[in-house]
Amino acid sequence: MRYVMMFVETEEFAQKLEAMGELEQQAAYAAVTRWFADHADRITHHTHLAPVHTATTVRLGQGEPVVTDGPFVEGKEVVSGFAEVEVADLDEALKIARSWPACPVVEIRPVA
């Protein structure tokens, strides 16, 4: 089965990352690199997204679509990246997600 894991960054996480010294940041990024290497046999695609301020939002449903700069999502969490994994089942996807060393939230969805 294929699942997409969306890595969700909170404001608190982003502030902690920004407050880290250079060596701490390098160690945090190295942990993420190791995670991708450890699961490379099951990851079919992944990417890190540009910062949230670069987003463009299209709202549909009420007449003409409305296009605005920025995410303008209700909430203080943003998807900062994703990985698509090919695994046997949701349990295996959960096992991989539990080992994610960065953002504090990982949303898992089956690929339709």
**β pairing state of 43-48 and 77-86:** antiparallel
pLDDT the model gives residue 82: 95
pLDDT the model gives residue 72: 62
Digits of tens for pLDDT over the chain (112 positions)?
Answer: 999 999 998 889 989 999 999 999 999 999 999 999 999 999 999 999 888 788 888 888 888 988 888 766 666 788 899 999 999 999 999 999 999 999 999 999 999 8
Q: Which domains does the chain have, with CATH numbers?
A: 2-110 (3.30.70.1060)
29-34, long-range: CB < 8 A, 24+ apart: 31/101, 31/102, 32/101, 32/102, 34/101
Whether the pTM exceeds 0.75: the reply is yes
pLDDT the model gives residue 32: 96
pLDDT the model gives residue 92: 97
